[in-house]
Amino acid sequence: MKSTLGVVTVSCLVLLAGCGGTPELDSGEVETVTAAQSAVTSARQSGALKAGDAQKLEALMILCREKPLAESDGMSMRELVDDLAPKLSKVDPEWSAKLERLATNGCD
């Protein structure tokens, strides 16, 4: 009885350890997040998205769908997209709406 209980307990712990935790972003994915944040900051300062910025935002949206629970600087991908969307509202309403829709409907 004790051995059966021990096996069940160990099995549960192994199962929980394997399923838990937040997905990690690799260095390339962190760079994608940083590039998108930088593009939004730059757009707010200049008043328009620059050439190539749309691709950075698209890459962020793809990453959000691939790893919706991943975190960057303590924010989930959904929270990050939700944070960036209103910052683009006056600069590029179309991209702002795309990001807002992704954040509202969820990255998954």
Nearest-5° Cα angle at 73, 77 to 105:
15
Under 8 Å between Cβ of 95 and 54: yes
Residue at 4 is within a domain: no
pTM: 0.76
Residue at 22 is within a domain: no
List pLDDT tens digits, range 25-69: 999 999 999 999 999 999 999 999 999 999 999 999 999 999 988
Structural domain including 96 reads: 28-105
Res 9: pLDDT: 52
Res 105: pLDDT: 87
Under 8 Å between Cβ of 101 and 58: no
Residue at 34 is within a domain: yes
Residue at 99 is within a domain: yes
Residue at 17 is within a domain: no
The total number of structural domains that make up the chain: 1
Higher-pLDDT residue of 17 and 82 is 82
Under 8 Å between Cβ of 81 and 64: yes
Q: What is the mean pLDDT of residues 73-83?
A: 92
